[in-house]
Amino acid sequence: MRALALSRVAIYLVLIAFALYFLMPIYVLVVTGLKPFSDVSFIDMWHPPRSLYLGSFATAWPLVSANFWNSFRITVPAALISSLIGSMNGYIFAKWRFRYSNLLFMLVLFGIFLPYQGILIPLVQILQKVGLYGSIPGLIFVHCVFGMPITALIFRSYFATVPDEMVDAAKIDGAGFFGIYRWIMLPLSMPAFAVALIWQFTTIWNDFLLGVVVLSNPALAPITVAVNNLAGSFFVQWNVQMAGAVIAAAPTIAVYLLLGRLFMRGLLAGALKG
Amino acid sequence: MPASVPDSTRARAQAGGGAIPAPVAARRAPWSWLRNDNFWAIAVLSPSLVAVAIFIYAFILWTIYISLVGWNDIVPNYEFVGLRNFQRLSQNPRYLIDLANTAKFTVLFMAQCIGFGFLLAVLLDQRIKGESIFRTIYIFPFAISAIVTGVAWRWLMYPNSGINLLFDSVGLGILKNSWFADPNIGIMAVSIPAAWQMTGYTMALYLAGLRGISQELREAAKIDGASGWQFYRYIAVPLVTPVTLTVFVILGVISLRLFDLTAAMTSSGPAFADDTPAFFMFQATFQKNNFSQGASIAVTMLILAAGLIIPYLRSIHLEAQR
């Protein structure tokens, strides 16, 4: 009995140690962001700030605010459009099997894992040709194209759980392809929409590679590009870099903390389960 | 009256509407609306399929083509040079370092994610009080961008700061090192923040796998006298093998793509100790205008990725057909 209690204590100690490990970098970011430059030193890195100093954030905000809003202007439409397209495609792949539809679905899924380096050169060439290179609509379009495979997967997994009998019943009642989507699938799929939207919001907000390649113009770039530029600059103080990083992370952390359960579902769907 | 459709449908479905196959067959034959619906399904799907065909498959072919021409200047040059770019790449010391870096990174990154991820999943499977709080903390690095992660860890891995201070304070000063700034450690240090981001994710997948093991099986193991650890060793580990395969593929692809994190932390590092194929490709292509060189690096990345992804997708495909 005592051995059992002891092993329970050991389990909790390990769990708590890992929790501290996962929180450690965030502690450093926030604490350093709350210090004035005079208090920032290598040796005192772990010390909490002496007082609540918001000056670093006040300095960082004008440096990244334009990019912060750029990220919203990129992320929100791209997440909405890719989720909408993904819901249609997921519905078709789940409920309108045709010859080779499974094979086509696999070819679409390849896009989830594709190393984007393999398509960046033609991507830039085409976007330049059609005049979308270096523009926010261009980056939105790119995120919609490369976001569709994962949203289609999320919706297909979800719609697969809708019984085929419901679809058959709707057909008998005279509903067709669009009717079934409009009157059965769409109303049922709000949870899947939430999952897909959260997933896409997080992925697109956190994207760096596509942003830096398609939209490297500092005035239009997303926040990840701006924070990376801050971090690479020798003229920007550490505390300001940290504050900028906290600003960049805040929206996705907020989404995660508020809607964690839906985030988890997206995470599992993204691993091709079910 | 289209509005009447959903209500009756729902009613039927709720009434366990499975028992209605006969009239379907009877009504399918006279009208061709089914074929019509299939037409609409394909019509709605085709723009996406065309986009995938162009933006993924045609672009891959175009990248392969670029890797076979001599476009290593700002002005496009489509003169066919065969495998010359690949031959040069195979003799490029930076590229060889990058391949070795990818191998080292992949091994350490996977070992941390899978080792710690599985351990945490097993521990959280022990009816833990506050499980959801632990889970929330473990997974949340996954919600943060690699750029922010890199900014934080760059500071944590500063030689006379961060983690080294912690080592000092607990008497482990012997472990102090320069992390990614040490050419002998380099990319191996980068695997730590990368695993910091993905361990919780790995844990979540394993936890879902463990929760999928039926209660009966757990009871049966207990009755047969299996201890807790024997249950995990001989029953749970084999049963979560599919999860391990999934994790292996996802983490492998992440290792191949590694770019954001090193960009934010160190760029190439001393003597390319932190360099990756993805970073080399980016610099060659978009900073030095060596497009064909960049394309040839990209093609090697695609080949390595395809070696992981295609068998995986095939196994899913075969399973779905069964």
pLDDT in tens, B24-56: 444 445 555 555 777 888 889 999 999 999 999
Q: Does B46 touch chain A (CB under 8 A)?
A: no
pLDDT at B20: 42
Confidence of residue A269 (pLDDT cuts 50, 70, 90): confident
pLDDT in tens, B98-130: 999 999 999 999 999 999 999 999 999 988 999
pLDDT mean over A73-98:
94
| H helix or E strand, kind and range, residue A95 | helix A55-95
Q: Does B126 touch chain A (CB under 8 A)?
A: yes
State whether B123 and A11 contact (CB < 8 Å). yes
Confidence of residue A41 (pLDDT cuts 50, 70, 90): confident
State whether B56 and A114 contact (CB < 8 Å). yes
pLDDT mean over A68-96:
96
pLDDT mean over A3-13:
86
Confidence of residue B161 (pLDDT cuts 50, 70, 90): confident
pLDDT at B215: 87
Cβ contacts of residue A180 below 8 Å, gap of 6+? A95, A167, A170, A171
Confidence of residue B303 (pLDDT cuts 50, 70, 90): very high
Residues of A in contact with B37 (CB under 8 A): 96, 176-177
Q: Which residue in A272, A111, A140 sits closest to B247, CA to CA?
A: A272
pLDDT at B12: 42
Q: Does B208 touch chain A (CB under 8 A)?
A: yes
pLDDT mean over B59-70:
96
State whether A166 and B17 contact (CB < 8 Å). yes
Residue identified by tokens 């004035």 is A36
pLDDT at B165: 84
pLDDT at B4: 39
State whether A92 and B41 contact (CB < 8 Å). yes
Inform me whether the pLDDT recorded for B230 exceeds 70: yes
Inform me whether the pLDDT recorded for B92 exceeds 90: yes
Cβ contacts of residue A157 below 8 Å, gap of 6+? A90, A269, A273, A274
Report the chain B residue with the minimal C-alpha distance to residue A18.
B138
pLDDT in tens, A254-265: 999 988 877 777
In CATH, which of 1.10.3720.10, 1.10.760.10, 3.20.20.70, 3.40.605.10 is domain B89-321? 1.10.3720.10
pLDDT at B3: 37
The alpha carbon of residue B241 is apart from the nearest alpha carbon of chain A, in Å, by 13
Q: Does B192 touch chain A (CB under 8 A)?
A: no
State whether A106 and B313 contact (CB < 8 Å). yes
Inform me whether the pLDDT recorded for B18 exceeds 50: no
Residues of A in contact with B42 (CB under 8 A): 98
pLDDT at B13: 43
Inform me whether the pLDDT recorded for A92 exceeds 90: yes
Residues of A in contact with B10 (CB under 8 A): 184
Q: Are B118 and B206 in contact (CB under 8 A)?
A: yes
State whether A122 and B62 contact (CB < 8 Å). yes
Confidence of residue A16 (pLDDT cuts 50, 70, 90): very high
pLDDT in tens, A198-251: 999 999 999 999 999 999 788 999 999 999 998 877 777 888 989 999 999 999
Most trustworthy range by pLDDT among A170-179, A229-238, B96-105, B259-268 = B96-105
The encoded tokens of residue B23 equal 């009239």
Inform me whether the pLDDT recorded for B2 exceeds 60: no
pLDDT mean over B241-260:
94
CA distances (Å), origin B300, targets B208, B237, B260 = 34, 34, 19
Domain boundaries, chain A: 65-223+250-270
pLDDT in tens, A187-199: 988 889 998 999 9
Confidence of residue B10 (pLDDT cuts 50, 70, 90): very low
Inform me whether the pLDDT recorded for B7 exceeds 70: no
The alpha carbon of residue A220 is apart from the nearest alpha carbon of chain B, in Å, by 18
Q: Does B52 touch chain A (CB under 8 A)?
A: yes
- Which CATH number does A65-223+250-270 carry? 1.10.3720.10
Q: Does B229 touch chain A (CB under 8 A)?
A: no
pLDDT at B257: 94
Confidence of residue A100 (pLDDT cuts 50, 70, 90): confident
Inform me whether the pLDDT recorded for B279 exceeds 70: yes
Domain boundaries, chain B: 22-67, 89-321
Provide the sign of the torsion angle of the four alpha carbons B50, B56, B59, B64, taken in this order: negative
pLDDT at B269: 87
Residues of B in contact with A183 (CB under 8 A): 2, 5-6, 9
In single-letter form, the type of residue at position A171 comes to K
The pTM of this model reads 0.89
pLDDT mean over A28-45:
85
Determine what percent of chain B is predicted with pLDDT higher than 90: 59
Report the chain A residue with the minimal C-alpha distance to residue B287.
A213
> Which of B59, B128, B285 is closest, CB to CB, to A15?
B128
pLDDT at A174: 83
The encoded tokens of residue A216 equal 């490297």
The alpha carbon of residue A106 is apart from the nearest alpha carbon of chain B, in Å, by 6
Most trustworthy range by pLDDT among A7-11, A245-249, B8-12, B315-319 = A245-249
State whether A117 and B257 contact (CB < 8 Å). yes
